[in-house]
Structure 1
Amino acid sequence: MSLLPQLKRRHFLIGSAGGLVGAAAGLPAMAQEGAALPDYVAWKDADDLIVHSMQTLETRRGAIGSGLVTPSEDLYIRNNLPAPPEEIVADRDAWEIAIEGVAEPQTMTLGALKTLGVETVACVLQCSGNGRAFFDHETSGTQWSVGAAGNVIWTGVPVRDLVAAMGGVSDGMDWMTGTGGEEIPDGVPAETIQVERSVPRAAMEQAILAWDMNGTALPLAHGGPLRLVIPGYYGVNNVKYLKRLAFTAQESPSKIQQTGYRVRPVGEKGDPSQPSMFEMSVKSWITGPLEEAGTGKVQIHGVAMGGTAALEKVEVSVDGGANWTVAQFLGPDMGPYAWRPFVLITELGQGTHMLASRASTVDGQVQPEMFEPNERGYGHNGWHDHAVDLTVG
C-alpha cells in the first residue's frame, strides 16, 4: 500500500519545498522531501527526493527545474524487485548476457559486447505510473506526481549492431524480450515475479544495451552493469540487470507482461488483450515558480517530451487554459526522445494563477486537457491535472 494518501484535487497547490504540500496535506514523514535514503541509494541527494518506499523514490518537482539532463543523484528510483548484490558490479566486463532468436545465438560478456559498437543517446526515462496521484479514483501503486521521470544520457551497444553481428533475427520472431537478473526466491515460480518484458521487434532499431549513464558506469540502483534502454518507451520496458535478450515469436509469459502494465477500465483485471505500456505520449509540466511570487515579470519554466516524436512547441497558460502563449525552448535539441526545457517570461498580477503547459509534436500530437482514468493510473498526460496554483502578491 502506498505511503501517500489519496489526493483528490485536479491540480495541486505547491509548497515552498517545490513538491506537493506535505505536512499540511497529512503526508507521513517518510513520503516527504529530505527523508533518509535507503543504503543502496545513499549516494543520491536526499534534499531533492521524496522517499515513498525502499524501492520507490521520486524527484521533487522543484528539483527538476529547467535542466537538460537529470543528474544521477536526482533521478527517481522504481524497482519491481530488490537489486542484486553489489558483487555483480565488482567486475562489470565479466557480466554475461545470452542472445537468442538470432541466426548465431550465443552468450557474451559485457567486455565482448563493447567491441561490437557504441552509441550515446539522450532519452526520457519515465515510470508508467508517473502522474498517478492526479487521478480521482483510488489506484494501487506509488502515488507519483511528476517526479518519476528524468532525462538521461545512455551509452552502450546498439541492438541493431548486435543483431547484425549475429547474423540477423530469425524468421517469425516478432518480439524483442529482455530478462532481468534479479534473484528469484526459492520455491517461487519465476514467471510470477520475474522482470521480463517483450516489446515489438521494431523497437530494436533505437534500442541499446547500456553500460554507462550520464557519463559514468551504470549504477547498480539503475540496472548496472547492463540495462536494456528503449528510447521512447516507458521505464518498465527498459529492463535492468539484463541477462538475456531474445527475439521471440510470442510475448513473455511473465505476469508483468501478460496482466501487469495493461491499460484497462477502472475495476477490471488485466489480461493480454488490453493495451500494454509501450510507447510514451506527449507530455509537459511546469517546474517553477512553485512558491509565492511577487507581482511583475516572472520566468515560468518546465520540461516537455514528445514520447516517440520530436516536439514542435510548448504553450503556457497563466489563466487555467483560457489563453495560451508559445514558450521558448532552452538549450540545444538533444534528439526526439529527450525532453526539452522551456521558459516563458510574462507579467503576473496579484492573485492566484493556474499555471499550465501544453506540448505538441511535429507529427500532430497535442497534449490533451483531460485524461481518461484507468485502473492502475498509467500514462496520465492531461495538462489540466498537471497544472499548479501560484499565489502572487
Structure 2
Amino acid sequence: MNPTHNTSHPPASAEGPGSPQRRQLLLGGAGLAATAGLAGLAPRAWAQAAELPEYVGWKDAQALIMHSANTLETRRDAIGRGILTPSDQLFVRNNLSAPDSAIMASPDDWSLDILGTTRSQRFTLGQLKTLGVETVVSVLQCSGNGRKFFPHGASGTQWETGAAGCVAWTGVPLRELVRELGGVMEGMNYITGTGGETLPDGLDPKSIMVERSVPLAALEQALLAWEMNDEPLSLAHGGPLRLVIPGYFGVNNVKYLRQLAFTREQTDAKIQASGYRVRDLGVEGAPDQPSMWEMPVKSWITSPLQSAVAGRTLIYGVAFGGVHALSKVEVSVDGGERWAEARLLGPDLGRFAWRPFVLAAELATGEYRLVSRATDDQGQVQPRDRVDNERGYGHNGWQDHGVTLTVA
C-alpha cells in the first residue's frame, strides 16, 4: 500500500516565500540561509547576484544557483533539518520555457484529456477536484543530479546535489480517475503524459515536446497534482496541473499536463525515444536503452561542508530509497574505511519521502573526508562508485558526493 494520507483542507493562499502555511509544513526546520560571501566564487557569485526570471521571482535567490533561466539549483548548504523543502528554495528544471502566466488566472478551468480508458473524457481541473484527493510526500529529483561529478564532462546542466528536494503533493490519485472511467483498456502498457508548453513554430512537435511514458505499474502511486507544500501549484513547478509519479525521476512528472493517455507503446517523442536514456560514452540515444524511470537509493552530506571546530561535531544529510522505502543511513569520516549508523530525524512521511539524518562525531584537529551511504528496505545499498554514462544520469555513488572537512 502506498504511504499516503487523505486531506480535505481548503484552498491555500497564493504561493510565496513568506507563506505561514508552507513554513508550518517544514516539520522542524527551515532551510539554512546562504551566508558565504561572493568573493572568490565567480560562477556562483554571478548566479546569486543575477535577477531571477519573473516566473520564479518569488523564490529565495540566496538559496539558489541560477544556471539558466530554466534551471535553478538548490544550494547544498540551504537544505535544513526539516523534511520538506521550502517551495521558494526548491530547484527548477524546465525542458521548455514555462507557458505564459495567463494560464494561472483561472486554474480550475484548465482542461485535461484522458485517453486509453473504457471511456475517454475531458475534465477541467475543477471537476478533477471533486473526484478524490490525497497527499503524497515524495522526492523530486532531476535525472542529471550529480552530473558535475562525472569526469568526462557530460553535456547538460552541471548539477551537484541541488537538483532534488522533498515536497508534499496534493491531488487526485490517477487510479481513482481510472475507476471513474471504467478502467484501462486491454493491452495498454504505459501511462503517457503530455505537457502544455507552447511549442516554437517551424519545428516538428515530436522533436521538442515534453511527452513521457512510464510503465503501467506506476498507476498505483501516480497523482494528478494541483497543490505543492499545501499551496496552489505555481507556474514554476507545473501549475495548474502536474503529473506526479512518486519514486520516479523528475522528467516523468510532466508539467502543465494537458493529456494523459494509456498507450500500448512508449511515445515516439524525442524526449522519450532517444532522450533520458542511459548509454555508454559516445553512444547515441535509442529506444532499446534503459530509460530514466525509477530512482535508486541515495544520500549525501549537507553540513558541515568545509570547516568545523575541534570537538563534538554534528554531521547532517538527507537520504531516500527512491522507489523503495529507506531503511538506514551510515556515515564515515574517513572516506569509507569505517562506518557508523546515523540517526534519522523527524517523522517517517512514507516510502517516497527523504529523511534528514545526523551523526555526532568527536573530531580532533585535522582533515576528514565525510561520506554517507543509504540502504533501502530491499537491502539495496548505495554504491561507492558512479556508473559512467554519456549524459551523466542517475549518479548515486557515495564517493563522489563526499565532502572534505578541515577541523581546526
- Quote the Cα distance in structure 2 between the aligned partners of 1:167 and 1:75: 37
Q: Secondary structure at the match of 1:27?
A: helix
- Following superposition, the deviation at residue 233 of structure 1 comes to 0.2
From 27, 33, 36, the counterpart of 2:43: 27
- Following superposition, the deviation at residue 35 of structure 1 comes to 3.4
| CA offsets 1:247-297 (integer angstroms, 9 cap, x no match) | 001100100000000000011110001000000010000000124110000
Change in 2 beyond 3 A, CA 1:222/1:107: same
- Following superposition, the deviation at residue 22 of structure 1 comes to 7.7
Q: Report the counterpart of residue 361 of structure 2 in structure 1.
A: 346
Q: Determine if the alignment matches structure 1 residue 180 to structure 2 residue 210.
A: no
Residue correspondences, number: 376
- Following superposition, the deviation at residue 17 of structure 1 comes to 5.3
From 150, 154, 165, the counterpart of 1:135: 150
- Quote the Cα distance in structure 1 between the aligned partners of 2:97 and 2:298: 30
| CA offsets 1:302-329 (integer angstroms, 9 cap, x no match) | 0001001111100000010010000000
Q: Secondary structure at the match of 1:246?
A: strand
Letter in 2 for 1:375: E
Q: Determine if the alignment matches structure 1 residue 168 to structure 2 residue 190.
A: no
Q: Report the counterpart of residue 207 of structure 2 in structure 1.
A: 192
- Quote the Cα distance in structure 2 between the aligned partners of 1:246 and 1:121: 22
From 125, 130, 134, the counterpart of 1:119: 134
CA contact (8 A) 2:34 2:63 kept: no
Q: Secondary structure at the match of 1:243?
A: strand
Ranges in structure 2 where 5+ consecutive residues have no aligned partner: 1-32
Letter in 1 for 2:157: T
CA contact (8 A) 1:18 1:62 kept: no
- Following superposition, the deviation at residue 364 of structure 1 comes to 0.8
| CA offsets 1:158-216 (integer angstroms, 9 cap, x no match) | 00000000000001110000000001122211100000000001101100000000000
- Quote the Cα distance in structure 1 between the aligned partners of 2:329 and 2:142: 22
CA RMSD of superposed structures (Å): 1.5
Letter in 2 for 1:83: A
Q: Report the counterpart of residue 378 of structure 1 in structure 2.
A: 393
1:218-233, aligned counterparts within 5 Å? 218-233=233-248
Taking only the aligned residue pairs, the percentage that are identical comes to 61
- Following superposition, the deviation at residue 30 of structure 1 comes to 3.1
TM score, norm. by length of structure 2: 0.90
Ranges in structure 1 where 5+ consecutive residues have no aligned partner: 1-15
1:53-132, aligned counterparts within 5 Å? 53-132=68-147
- Quote the Cα distance in structure 2 between the aligned partners of 1:373 and 1:358: 19
- Quote the Cα distance in structure 1 between the aligned partners of 2:44 and 2:336: 33
1:143-154, aligned counterparts within 5 Å? 143-154=158-169
CA contact (8 A) 1:286 1:357 kept: yes
- Following superposition, the deviation at residue 18 of structure 1 comes to 7.7
- Quote the Cα distance in structure 1 between the aligned partners of 2:41 and 2:335: 23
Change in 2 beyond 3 A, CA 1:28/1:153: closer
